[in-house]
A = this chain, B = another copy of it.
Amino acid sequence: MDPVSTEQVAEFRRFNRYFTRRIGALDDHYLGQDRPLGEARLLFEIGEGVSLRELRGRLGLDAGYLSRMTKTLQAQGLVRVSVHPGDSRLRVVELTRAGRVELAEQNRRADALAAGLLEGLSGPQRDRLTEAIGTAQRLLRLAGITVTRVDGAAPDARACLDAYAADIDARFPEGFDPSDLVRPEEVSGDAGAFLVAYEEGRPVGCGALRRLEPGIGELRHVWVHPDARRLGLARRLLAALETEATTRGLTTLRLDTHASLTEARAMYRACGYTEIPPYSEHVYGDHWFEKRLHPPGN
C-alpha cells in the first residue's frame, strides 16, 4: 500500500476535531437533556424488543452496568422487562408506551438540531453537504472493512454462501439450487481460496477462487451484503481475489454471471474483464468473462 500523505492525515484530523467538538458535543448534550447519556443511548438502541445480551454486545457495556441502567429505566416506566420465551436465561427488554413517547421526543430534538443546522444553508448548499457526507460515510465504511481469507468450511463462509444463495434464489426467476455452491475443498489449500469481508466483526461479503485448469482460475460467488452495497466493496473483493490468483501463478481468471445482474456485469467490464464465449456448462450463467493477470513483478 502507498503511504498516507501527512496533509491528508492533517485534513482528516481537522475535520474530526471540528465535527466532534461542534456537532458531536452538541448532540450528546441535547439528546439526553434531563437524562444521563448512557440511559438515552440505551433507550435509543432498545427499539422493539431486544435481549440484554444483544444490547451488551451492541453497546459494549458491562453486564452489571447494563442491568442497573435497565432497572432505572424500568422504574421510570419507560421499558418492560420479560423473560425470553425460548431461553429463560435471557431477558428481553422493550419500550412501553411512555418509552416510545420519550424516544419520539428524543428523535424530535435530534431532528430539530440537525434541521436547525441545515437551515443556515441554501438549497443547493444543502444538496452539496448531503452529497459530501454521503461520500465520506461510504468511504469511511469501506476503509473499515477488512478482507481476509477463511477456510471454506468456516461458519462465516457458510453464512455468506447461504445469504448469497438466498439472494440469488430470490432474484432469478428459475430460482437457485444450493448444491451449485463451491464445496469447501475446492477453495482450500492450493486449490483455491475463500475470502470474507468483515465490517465491525460481521461478515458483509465474500468471494471464492478455484482452479479450473492449469494456469486458469475461476471466480465464484462474489457477493456483497445489501447493507454494504455501493461502497466499492465488490471491487475490493475482486482485487483481493486477483492477488490470491497471482500468488498461485494463475495467469487467467474466468467467471460467469447472469443477465439480470446488470451492475455486476458493468463492474466486471470496468475492472478489466472482457466477455468471452461460454467456457462451462453452469446452470445459472449466461454471460462469461475473462481477464489476463499480470505477473507479480509488475
Which A residues lie at the B interface, using CB under 8 A?
Answer: 1-2, 4-6, 8-9, 11-16, 18-20, 22-24, 27-28, 110-111, 114-115, 117-121, 123, 125-130, 132-137, 139-146, 232
Q: In the complex, are the beta carbons of A15 and B118 less than 8 A apart?
A: no
CB-CB under 8 A from A119, the residues of chain B are: 1, 4, 143
Ordered by A's residue number, 20 sampled pairs between the chains whose C-beta atoms are within 8 Å are: A4-B118, A6-B111, A8-B118, A8-B129, A9-B115, A11-B133, A15-B134, A16-B24, A19-B137, A19-B140, A22-B140, A117-B143, A118-B143, A120-B145, A121-B139, A121-B142, A121-B143, A125-B142, A129-B136, A132-B135
B contact residues around A144 at 8 Å (CB): 22, 117, 120
Q: Distance in Å from the Cβ of A207 to the closest Cβ of chain B?
A: 17
Q: Which of B1, B127, B136 contacts A133 (CB 8 A)?
A: B136
Q: Indicate how many identical chains form the complex.
A: 2
Bound Cα distance from A113 to B23, whole angstroms: 21
Report how far A160 CA is from B146 CA in the complex, Å: 51
**Beyond A22-B144, A120-B142: 13 further Cβ-contacts under 8 Å?**
A2-B123, A4-B115, A4-B119, A6-B111, A8-B127, A8-B130, A11-B130, A15-B136, A15-B137, A24-B24, A121-B139, A125-B139, A128-B135
A contact patch SS: helix
Complex contacts, A139 vs chain B, CB 8 Å: 121, 125, 128-129, 132
